[in-house]
């Protein structure tokens, strides 16, 4: 594709670096911004730059934050005996949106994946161990990806904590509410049969 | 959706202003940028702002340009007796990419649409009339949207030019090469039968 302007070409190139944005979409976004006022485009560009420059990561749970300590960790009404271990911000937002969880979080920043060169030392695991060592934590809920890498990470953490009096649980895997059996993969289906619940618990979870 | 950081929230809000970007995609783009270095994010933001601030519009054809006169209008090897009238930059890029057209362009900036408050005075039509009045232009190829508004715009321009010795043509509408008849809308199919070509011309166009 040839562009009649270097500026257009450069902006399209920047947009195509974003995930899921191809050349045609990038051009559409660029032309949209071209139609906006200079003030609006400046606000767009500066908002993005300011975010990257000013964002902090919570010193306790490593979630993104505007302060040194995020507003979940500093919230005294939350249950600090319960920590949900997640990979990133997206999972924190998803769980927070359920409005059902009242514990704290710990953001690992990923899962152990030798193939991608990610070892335990690249993740926020040491600080999790320290948090458990304070003795205040009663249960860790592992909410990592249900993949080989996620399972490896859970295994690594549980081994590191085996001498500490903390309960480790994983979130339930199974058929989603409204999910139809015939479209579920065999692995999930088999596991959801193996880990079936007494009917009383099912009624409770509704 | 609640965000743990005002910066994230603002960036997501800016991205959702772009066409076709919903809240989930905006968050994905924001988190992607968060993982990039400050330098890279600055380059992204500044490229967009610079584009909007520095881009010019060609004084002859109104296409975007880095100079006062775009590199198509200033290209002496192009046929200046032929002008293709298009709505915007996207159409110029599409036609240029065919590498088959050697004339010039005129970008109207849209089509007449009373319902959207767009009248002839909001479009670059006056300057098109001036270009034709120079006497150098032999043919105008209308490549506007095949909609009521596009047709109205073609009609308006042709009326304005009725006393000038210029030929007006429209690009061929019909079944695309490789298009299957059964999936084409009736209107296009009916028109492609009404405006059928002698077989010799079809062979020529191959």
Q: For residue A18, which of B164, B146, B32 has the smallest C-alpha distance?
A: B32
Selected residue of B3, B10, B16, B18 to mutate for chain A interface (largest A Cβ count, 10 A): B18
Q: Do A64 and B11 touch (CB under 8 A)?
A: no
Cα dist from A89 to A184, B30, B91, whole Å: 27, 11, 40
CA–CA distance, A83 with A97 (Å, rounded to integer): 17
Q: Is the pLDDT of residue B206 over 60?
A: no
Q: What is the pLDDT of residues A101-145, one digit of tens each?
A: 999 999 999 999 999 999 999 999 999 999 999 999 999 999 988
CA–CA distance, A137 with A135 (Å, rounded to integer): 6
In sign, the C-alpha dihedral spanning B117, B122, B128, B130 is: positive
First to last CA, chain A: 54
Q: How far is B196 from chain A (nearest CA, A)?
A: 32
Chain B CB contacts of A36 below 8 Å? 52
CA–CA distance, A50 with B46 (Å, rounded to integer): 12
Q: Are strands B56-57 and A56-57 parallel, antiparallel or unpaired?
A: unpaired
Among A137-146, A158-167, B39-48, B137-146, which range has the highest average pLDDT?
B39-48
Cα dist from B91 to A15, A54, A166, whole Å: 20, 40, 64
pTM (two decimals): 0.76
Domains in chain B with CATH codes: 6-54 (1.10.8.420), 64-171 (3.40.1360.10), 172-206 (no CATH)
Q: Is the pLDDT of residue B204 over 70?
A: no
Q: Is the pLDDT of residue B197 over 80?
A: no
Q: Is the pLDDT of residue A198 over 80?
A: no
Q: Are strands B139-142 and B167-170 parallel, antiparallel or unpaired?
A: parallel
Which residue among B34, B51, B90 places its CB closest to the CB of A27?
A: B90
Averaged pLDDT for residues B45-72: 93
Cα dist from B76 to B31, B66, B134, whole Å: 48, 18, 17
Residue pair A167/A139 in contact by the 8 Å Cβ criterion:
yes
Average pLDDT, chain A: 89
Q: Is B66 on the interface with A (CB under 8 A)?
A: yes
Residue pair A95/A116 in contact by the 8 Å Cβ criterion:
no
Residue A126: Cβ-neighbour burial (10 angstroms; 0-12, 13-18, 19+): exposed
Which residue among B46, B63, B96 places its CB closest to the CB of A45?
A: B46
Per-residue confidence (pLDDT) for residue B21, from 0 to 100? 95
Q: Do A31 and B90 touch (CB under 8 A)?
A: yes
ipTM: 0.78
Q: What is the pLDDT of residues A152-167, one digit of tens each?
A: 999 999 999 999 999 9
Number of Cβ pairs closer than 8 Å across A and B? 162
CA–CA distance, A166 with A160 (Å, rounded to integer): 11
Three-state secondary structure string covering A79-144: EEEEEEEECCHHHHHHHHHHCCCCEEEEECCCCCEHHHCECHHHCCCHHHHHHHHCCCCCEEEECC
Determine the Cα angle at B76 with ends B71 and B81, to 5°.
100
Per-residue confidence (pLDDT) for residue A129, from 0 to 100? 95
Q: Is the pLDDT of residue A75 over 60?
A: yes
For residue A181, give the DSSP letter.
Answer: G
Q: Is the pLDDT of residue B1 over 70?
A: no
For residue B121, give the DSSP letter.
Answer: G
Q: What is the pLDDT of residues A25-61, one digit of tens each?
A: 999 999 999 989 999 999 999 999 999 999 999 999 9
**Chain B residue nearest residue A1, CA to CA:** B97
Selected residue of A49, A88, A110 to mutate for chain B interface (largest B Cβ count, 10 A): A49
Determine the Cα angle at B48 with ends B91 and A28, to 5°.
30
What is the distance, to the nearest Å, from the Cα of residue A145 to the centroid of all Cα atoms in its chain? 9
Q: How far is A165 from chain B (nearest CA, A)?
A: 31
A206 pLDDT band, cuts 50/70/90, is low
């Amino acid at each position: 594709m040839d562009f009649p302007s270097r500026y257009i070409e450069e902006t399209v190139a920047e947009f195509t670096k974003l995930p899921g944005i191809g050349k045609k979409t990038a051009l559409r976004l660029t032309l949209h911004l071209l139609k906006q006022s200079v003030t609006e485009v400046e606000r767009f560009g500066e908002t993005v730059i300011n975010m990257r420059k000013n964002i902090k990561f919570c010193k306790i749970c490593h979630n993104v934050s505007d302060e040194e300590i995020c507003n979940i960790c500093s919230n005294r009404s939350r249950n600090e005996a319960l920590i949900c271990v997640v990979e990133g911000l997206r999972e924190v937002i998803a769980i927070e949106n359920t409005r059902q969880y009242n514990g704290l979080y710990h953001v690992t920043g990923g899962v152990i994946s030798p193939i991608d060169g990610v070892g335990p030392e690249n993740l926020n695991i040491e600080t999790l161990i320290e948090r458990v060592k304070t003795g205040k934590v009663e249960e860790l809920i592992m909410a990592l990806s249900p993949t080989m890498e996620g399972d490896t990470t859970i295994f690594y953490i549980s081994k590191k904590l085996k001498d500490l009096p903390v309960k480790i649980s994983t979130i339930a895997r199974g058929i989603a509410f409204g999910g139809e059996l015939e479209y579920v993969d065999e692995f999930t289906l088999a596991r959801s049969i193996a880990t079936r619940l007494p009917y009383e618990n099912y009624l409770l979870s509704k």
